[in-house]
Amino acid sequence: MHKSSIRVSDISAQYWCERQMELNYIHGPSITKEIKKGSKIHEELEGEINVPIILQPKSYADSLYKALYTSHQAVATLKEKGVTREVQIYGSLGGYKVVGKIDQLQTENGETAILEDKTRGNDTMPSDAQVLTHRVQVMIYKKLLDDVNSGDYSAKNFTMAYKTANLKMTDEFVRQLDANQVDKGLQDMGAIAEAFFNDMRTLNKISNTLYVRYLNQFTRKEIKMERLQYDRNEAQGIIMHMLKFWNGERKSLPVPENEKWKCNWCVFFGKQCTVWWQK
């Protein structure tokens, strides 16, 4: 699979079933009711903490601007309230552009802590296999945030990777920025990238404690708060493992035999994937 940009959610999906993640790219993901319900809760939580920003992008450049601007505003909320939601993160791993969206950042003991929300259909505890994929996700967020916070990945890297000098926002989107009273000096891709990466560089040190919060999607009750410790060597191992697939050094891996129970929930089982299909 030839890609220059990887989402953090793809990396975590590789740790559930890499073959399934690849098939999702080839055949299109199946959006389930649970995923839609989870998105709704994320929107509600964002609306409770961040100031809503109504911007309707009309082009790729508009969308990129919107992501940077709303994240810039979200970091201002973190500095003001000690907590914020939905912060975009950009970085580079093994030469690939990597992008993700962090559910929540919060100030804790003078540090910035990462929290990821996962919704569940009932109050049961997540399985170890599920927790592993979530662990991978927050570990990668931490690695990317560290890189931005330390200046290893800056606005300069971003503008080169995304070729922002060639991008022009639509006139209609610029009118929306005016209507939202966005500072004229920020109505430029280079300026908003500078502002956003400067925000991220001035965040407090990124905490080694990473949180995954499990919520019941119907009652919004907290089922469990998983506290994980960042391990730099483990993160490096995850990156090396995932890059072997993206670099084409190996084919996508199906689940091993002791995890073939996962196939029972897979839309590709017996169709596009017959590795564990009993004829």
Query: Interaction with ligand SF4 in 111-130: which residues (CB under 6 A)?
Result: none
Site pattern 56..95 for ligand SF4 (x: CB under 6 A):
----------------------------------------
Q: Binding to ligand SF4 by residue 38, rule CB under 6 A?
A: no
Q: Number of residues interacting with ligand SF4: please give it, by CB under 6 A.
A: 14
Member of 67, 190, 269, 278 binding ligand SF4 (CB under 6 A): 269
Choice between 174 and 253, CB closer to ligand SF4 = 253
What is the residue-wise DSSP string for 54-74? -----SHHHHHHHHHHHHHHH
Member of 8, 13, 19, 84 binding ligand SF4 (CB under 6 A): 19
Tell me how far apart the alpha carbons of residues 238 and 154 are, in angstroms, rounded to a whole number: 23
Contacts of 153 (CB under 8 A, 6+ apart): 90, 91, 92, 144, 147
Choice between 15 and 230, CB closer to ligand SF4 = 15
Which residue type, as a one-letter code, is found at position 161? Answer: A
Contacts of 202 (CB under 8 A, 6+ apart): none
Q: Binding to ligand SF4 by residue 255, rule CB under 6 A?
A: yes
Q: Binding to ligand SF4 by residue 14, rule CB under 6 A?
A: no
Q: Binding to ligand SF4 by residue 96, rule CB under 6 A?
A: no
Member of 23, 54, 105, 128 binding ligand SF4 (CB under 6 A): 23
CB neighbours of residue 208 within 10 Å: 14
Tell me how far apart the alpha carbons of residues 85 and 71 are, in angstroms, rounded to a whole number: 9
If you count them, how many residues does the chain have?
A: 279
Choice between 38 and 254, CB closer to ligand SF4 = 254
Choice between 20 and 84, CB closer to ligand SF4 = 20
Query: Interaction with ligand SF4 in 192-231: which residues (CB under 6 A)?
Result: none
Q: Binding to ligand SF4 by residue 245, rule CB under 6 A?
A: no
Distant-in-sequence contacts of 46-54, Cβ < 8 A, 24+ apart: 46/85, 46/86, 49/77, 49/81, 49/83, 49/84, 49/85, 50/74, 50/77, 50/84, 50/85, 50/86, 51/77, 53/180, 54/176, 54/180
Member of 97, 201, 213, 262 binding ligand SF4 (CB under 6 A): 262
Which residue type, as a one-letter code, is found at position 52? Answer: P
Sequence-ordered strand ranges (E) for the chain: 5-7, 83-93, 96-108, 111-120, 206-216, 222-229
Which residue type, as a one-letter code, is found at position 26? Answer: I
Contact predicate 141/237, CB 8 Å: no
Choice between 178 and 259, CB closer to ligand SF4 = 259
Choice between 211 and 276, CB closer to ligand SF4 = 276
Q: Binding to ligand SF4 by residue 20, rule CB under 6 A?
A: yes
Task: State the nearest-atom distance from the C-beta of 82 to ligand SF4, in Å.
Answer: 40
Interface positions with ligand SF4 (CB under 6 A): 17, 19-20, 23, 254-255, 262-263, 266, 268-269, 273, 275-276
